[in-house]
Amino acid sequence: MRRTLGALTASALILAPFLWLVVSSVSGQTDLLEHPLHWWPEHVTLSRYQEIFTGREGVAAQFRAAMVNSLIVGAGTVVVSVSVGILGGYALARLTFPLRRMALMSFLVTYMLPPIVLIIPLYLLMARFGLLDTKLGLIIVYCSLATPFALWTMSTFFGSLPVELEEAARVDGCTRLGALVRVILPLARPGIVATVLFVFLLCWDEFLYALIFTSTSDAKTIPVAIAEFTGRNAVDFGLIAAGGVLAALPPVLLAVVLQRHLLAGLTAGSLK
């Protein structure tokens, strides 16, 4: 009983702010500016969502462009860092070679480095090569966050799989790479799914790099667009709320549907 009460209180505290964001996104502008405030709007409107999906110019269209950019940058980073992470993670987990421990530790240390340290030289470099405000440039810098992470989690996942299966495959005539592709990868699928998800969410959420490396709708990602419009005064908050709800949708849905994978990823990535 006490536990149910606790769970209910916790749920209310968690849901209330988020529900208010959702309500704000469908409230008429006059409802939002009312004193005293009503908790349910008189005019319910989906116009802001419609605007974001179909608007040709203005804030709404910029939100849409930013979402598309976020998707492309996220997908690009996932492809690069997870493939690199699978290859390197396998070597770190299964092969014996000189300096193995040192390689492992150095990847871990790079994972801990605050992005703010890397950002100044990367900015100067990008400016020199004309990569500022491009999606490609953003994918490159996001690999600095994602690759050490992908390496680390993939090597933990590979390390947790029984060696015997792989040895059996090799006795049956598989090469090491053949065993990796035919035996290990299918077994490691939960780990790969979790890593893909984490890397994608990392990119979807990332703000500091995106703020500094992008400036127009060519490459601006969704967090930058939302932060920019939030900072302006006299802005339609309902529209930001709608943008926020849309930006929250992919990660929230992924997290809820793939809960178990995510939890496995959380503990494997950081506890061991």
Partner 1 sequence: MRKQAPLAAALLLPAALVVFGVVLWPAGRALVISFLDVDSPFPGAYPFVGLGNYADILTNPRFWAAAQHTLYFTVASTTLEVVLGLGLAHLLAAPMRFRWLFRAIVILPWALPTIVNGAMWRWILNAEYGALNALLTQLHLMDDYHSWLGADPFLALNMVVVADVWKNTSLVAFFLLAGLSAIPAELGEAARIDGAGSFRVFWRITLPLLRPTLAAVLVLRVIEAFKVFDIVYVMTGGGPASGTQTITFLTYLQAFSAQRFSYGAALAYLTVVAVLLLALIYLRLLRQQEMRAL
Return the range that interacts with partner 1 (CB under 8 A); candidates 43-51, 92-100, 158-166, 185-193: 92-100
Where helices occur in 27-134 by DSSP H, the ranges are: 29-32, 47-54, 58-94, 100-112, 115-128
Closer CB to partner 1, residue 56 or residue 96?
96
Return the range that interacts with partner 1 (CB under 8 A); candidates 48-56, 61-69, 90-98, 184-192: 90-98
Residue 259: CB minimum distance to partner 1, A: 6
Contact 265, 153 (CB under 8 A): yes
Contact 222, 247 (CB under 8 A): yes
- CA–CA distance, 96 with 76 (Å, rounded to integer): 31
Residues numbered 158 to 177 that lie near partner 1 (CB under 8 A) are 176
Closer CB to partner 1, residue 61 or residue 103?
103
- CA–CA distance, 176 with 189 (Å, rounded to integer): 18
Decide if residue 178 touches partner 1 (CB under 8 A). Answer: no
Return the range that interacts with partner 1 (CB under 8 A); candidates 47-55, 94-102, 156-164, 185-193: 94-102
Decide if residue 151 touches partner 1 (CB under 8 A). Answer: yes
Residues numbered 228 to 247 that lie near partner 1 (CB under 8 A) are 230-231, 237, 240-241, 244, 247
- CA–CA distance, 10 with 46 (Å, rounded to integer): 30
DSSP 123: H
**CA–CA distance from 145 to each of 86, 105, 140, 149 (Å)?**
16, 16, 10, 7
Choosing from 30, 42, 50, 100, the residue that interacts with partner 1 (CB under 8 A) is 100
Contact 75, 202 (CB under 8 A): no
What would the x/- binding string for partner 1 be over residues 56 to 85, using CB under 8 A? ------------------------xx-xxx
Choosing from 26, 148, 158, 188, the residue that interacts with partner 1 (CB under 8 A) is 148
Q: How many Å is the maximal CA-CA distance in the chain? A: 77
Return the range that interacts with partner 1 (CB under 8 A); candidates 55-63, 157-165, 187-195, 216-224: 216-224
Listed in order, strand segments (DSSP E) in 15-56 are: none
Residue 46: CB minimum distance to partner 1, A: 19
